[in-house]
Amino acid sequence: MVDEQSSRVPVDNIRTLLYYLGLAIDGRMSQYRRGTPYENVRPSDVRVFVRASRGTYTISEIARELQITRQAAQSSVQRLIKLQVIALKNLPGNKRDKVVIITPKGELASKTARQQIGDLENELAEMIGKEKLEDLRISLGIMLERLNDTLTQQA
Protein backbone atom coordinates (compact mmCIF):
# COMPACT_ATOMS: atom_id res chain seq x y z
CA MET A 1 0.00 0.00 0.00
CA VAL A 2 1.07 3.57 -0.62
CA ASP A 3 2.29 5.41 2.49
CA GLU A 4 0.20 8.58 2.43
CA GLN A 5 2.52 10.26 4.95
CA SER A 6 5.49 10.15 2.57
CA SER A 7 6.26 13.23 0.50
CA ARG A 8 7.30 11.13 -2.51
CA VAL A 9 5.39 8.77 -4.73
CA PRO A 10 6.86 5.31 -4.09
CA VAL A 11 8.61 3.69 -7.04
CA ASP A 12 6.74 0.45 -6.45
CA ASN A 13 3.24 1.93 -6.79
CA ILE A 14 0.89 -0.13 -8.96
CA ARG A 15 0.70 2.47 -11.75
CA THR A 16 4.48 2.62 -12.15
CA LEU A 17 4.94 -1.15 -11.90
CA LEU A 18 2.29 -1.79 -14.56
CA TYR A 19 3.75 0.88 -16.81
CA TYR A 20 7.28 -0.58 -16.66
CA LEU A 21 5.97 -4.13 -16.90
CA GLY A 22 4.19 -3.11 -20.11
CA LEU A 23 7.43 -1.66 -21.47
CA ALA A 24 9.35 -4.80 -20.51
CA ILE A 25 6.74 -7.02 -22.17
CA ASP A 26 6.89 -4.87 -25.33
CA GLY A 27 10.69 -5.21 -25.24
CA ARG A 28 10.53 -8.98 -24.85
CA MET A 29 8.03 -9.27 -27.69
CA SER A 30 10.41 -7.19 -29.84
CA GLN A 31 13.16 -9.70 -29.03
CA TYR A 32 10.91 -12.51 -30.24
CA ARG A 33 10.43 -10.66 -33.55
CA ARG A 34 14.18 -10.27 -34.20
CA GLY A 35 15.20 -11.85 -37.46
CA THR A 36 11.63 -11.87 -38.79
CA PRO A 37 10.03 -9.54 -41.33
CA TYR A 38 8.28 -7.91 -38.37
CA GLU A 39 11.33 -7.01 -36.28
CA ASN A 40 10.84 -3.27 -36.81
CA VAL A 41 7.12 -3.24 -36.09
CA ARG A 42 6.26 -0.68 -33.42
CA PRO A 43 4.32 -1.69 -30.29
CA SER A 44 1.61 0.78 -31.37
CA ASP A 45 1.31 -1.02 -34.72
CA VAL A 46 0.97 -4.32 -32.88
CA ARG A 47 -1.92 -2.92 -30.85
CA VAL A 48 -3.66 -1.71 -34.02
CA PHE A 49 -3.13 -5.10 -35.68
CA VAL A 50 -4.48 -6.97 -32.65
CA ARG A 51 -7.55 -4.72 -32.48
CA ALA A 52 -8.20 -5.14 -36.21
CA SER A 53 -7.89 -8.93 -35.90
CA ARG A 54 -10.69 -9.06 -33.32
CA GLY A 55 -13.46 -7.95 -35.64
CA THR A 56 -14.46 -5.63 -38.45
CA TYR A 57 -13.52 -2.06 -37.56
CA THR A 58 -12.90 1.22 -39.29
CA ILE A 59 -9.72 3.15 -38.59
CA SER A 60 -11.75 5.63 -36.52
CA GLU A 61 -13.23 2.82 -34.41
CA ILE A 62 -9.78 1.36 -33.80
CA ALA A 63 -8.47 4.79 -32.79
CA ARG A 64 -11.35 5.30 -30.33
CA GLU A 65 -10.91 1.85 -28.82
CA LEU A 66 -7.16 2.31 -28.36
CA GLN A 67 -7.61 5.92 -27.23
CA ILE A 68 -5.24 7.27 -29.86
CA THR A 69 -5.75 9.87 -32.56
CA ARG A 70 -7.18 8.85 -35.90
CA GLN A 71 -3.94 10.09 -37.47
CA ALA A 72 -1.86 7.77 -35.26
CA ALA A 73 -4.11 4.84 -36.15
CA GLN A 74 -3.90 5.79 -39.84
CA SER A 75 -0.08 5.83 -39.67
CA SER A 76 -0.03 2.38 -38.09
CA VAL A 77 -2.48 1.08 -40.69
CA GLN A 78 -0.28 2.40 -43.51
CA ARG A 79 2.82 0.71 -42.04
CA LEU A 80 0.89 -2.55 -41.63
CA ILE A 81 -0.40 -2.34 -45.21
CA LYS A 82 3.23 -2.06 -46.40
CA LEU A 83 3.94 -5.29 -44.50
CA GLN A 84 0.93 -6.82 -46.30
CA VAL A 85 -0.63 -8.04 -43.03
CA ILE A 86 -3.76 -5.88 -43.34
CA ALA A 87 -5.75 -4.27 -46.14
CA LEU A 88 -8.57 -1.77 -46.36
CA LYS A 89 -11.97 -2.71 -47.71
CA ASN A 90 -14.85 -0.43 -48.67
CA LEU A 91 -17.95 -0.57 -46.52
CA PRO A 92 -21.09 -1.31 -48.54
CA GLY A 93 -23.03 1.91 -49.06
CA ASN A 94 -20.28 4.06 -47.57
CA LYS A 95 -17.70 5.66 -49.85
CA ARG A 96 -15.82 7.40 -47.06
CA ASP A 97 -15.10 4.80 -44.39
CA LYS A 98 -13.11 1.66 -44.94
CA VAL A 99 -12.71 -1.32 -42.66
CA VAL A 100 -9.40 -2.89 -41.79
CA ILE A 101 -9.16 -6.56 -42.72
CA ILE A 102 -6.49 -9.13 -41.99
CA THR A 103 -4.79 -10.59 -45.06
CA PRO A 104 -3.65 -14.22 -45.39
CA LYS A 105 -0.12 -13.02 -44.55
CA GLY A 106 -1.64 -11.28 -41.52
CA GLU A 107 -3.29 -14.54 -40.43
CA LEU A 108 0.15 -16.17 -40.42
CA ALA A 109 1.57 -13.24 -38.44
CA SER A 110 -1.31 -13.57 -35.97
CA LYS A 111 -0.60 -17.28 -35.52
CA THR A 112 3.06 -16.50 -34.85
CA ALA A 113 2.08 -13.75 -32.38
CA ARG A 114 -0.18 -16.19 -30.48
CA GLN A 115 2.78 -18.56 -30.15
CA GLN A 116 5.02 -15.75 -28.95
CA ILE A 117 2.47 -14.63 -26.38
CA GLY A 118 2.25 -18.23 -25.18
CA ASP A 119 6.04 -18.32 -24.89
CA LEU A 120 6.02 -15.06 -22.92
CA GLU A 121 3.32 -16.31 -20.56
CA ASN A 122 5.27 -19.53 -20.04
CA GLU A 123 8.32 -17.42 -19.12
CA LEU A 124 6.24 -15.42 -16.65
CA ALA A 125 4.81 -18.63 -15.18
CA GLU A 126 8.36 -19.90 -14.65
CA MET A 127 9.12 -16.69 -12.75
CA ILE A 128 6.16 -16.68 -10.37
CA GLY A 129 4.38 -19.99 -10.90
CA LYS A 130 1.36 -20.88 -13.03
CA GLU A 131 -1.12 -20.37 -10.21
CA LYS A 132 0.16 -16.91 -9.31
CA LEU A 133 0.18 -15.91 -12.96
CA GLU A 134 -3.44 -17.00 -13.32
CA ASP A 135 -4.34 -15.16 -10.09
CA LEU A 136 -2.65 -12.06 -11.51
CA ARG A 137 -4.61 -12.38 -14.76
CA ILE A 138 -7.89 -12.64 -12.85
CA SER A 139 -6.99 -9.75 -10.54
CA LEU A 140 -5.96 -7.50 -13.43
CA GLY A 141 -9.20 -8.35 -15.25
CA ILE A 142 -11.27 -7.46 -12.19
CA MET A 143 -9.42 -4.18 -11.65
CA LEU A 144 -9.75 -3.23 -15.31
CA GLU A 145 -13.46 -3.99 -15.37
CA ARG A 146 -14.17 -2.08 -12.17
CA LEU A 147 -12.11 0.96 -13.14
CA ASN A 148 -13.83 1.06 -16.54
CA ASP A 149 -17.22 0.83 -14.77
CA THR A 150 -16.21 3.76 -12.56
CA LEU A 151 -15.08 5.80 -15.57
CA THR A 152 -18.33 5.05 -17.41
CA GLN A 153 -20.45 6.03 -14.39
CA GLN A 154 -18.60 9.31 -13.93
CA ALA A 155 -18.60 10.27 -17.61
pLDDT tens sequence across 83-132:
999 999 988 887 788 899 999 999 999 999 999 999 999 999 999 999 99
CB 88 within 8 A of CB 100: yes
Tell me the CB-side half-sphere exposure of residue 33, using CA atoms within 13 A. Answer: 19
Is the pTM of the predicted complex or chain greater than 0.75?
A: yes
Rounded CA-CA distance 8/151 in Å is: 26
Q: What are phi and psi of 9, to 5 degrees?
A: -75, 125
Closest of 100, 70, 71, 83 to residue 42, by C-alpha: 83
53-74 pLDDT per residue, tens? 999 999 999 999 999 999 999 9
Cα dihedral 95, 99, 104, 109 sign: positive
Identify the pLDDT of residue 87: 97
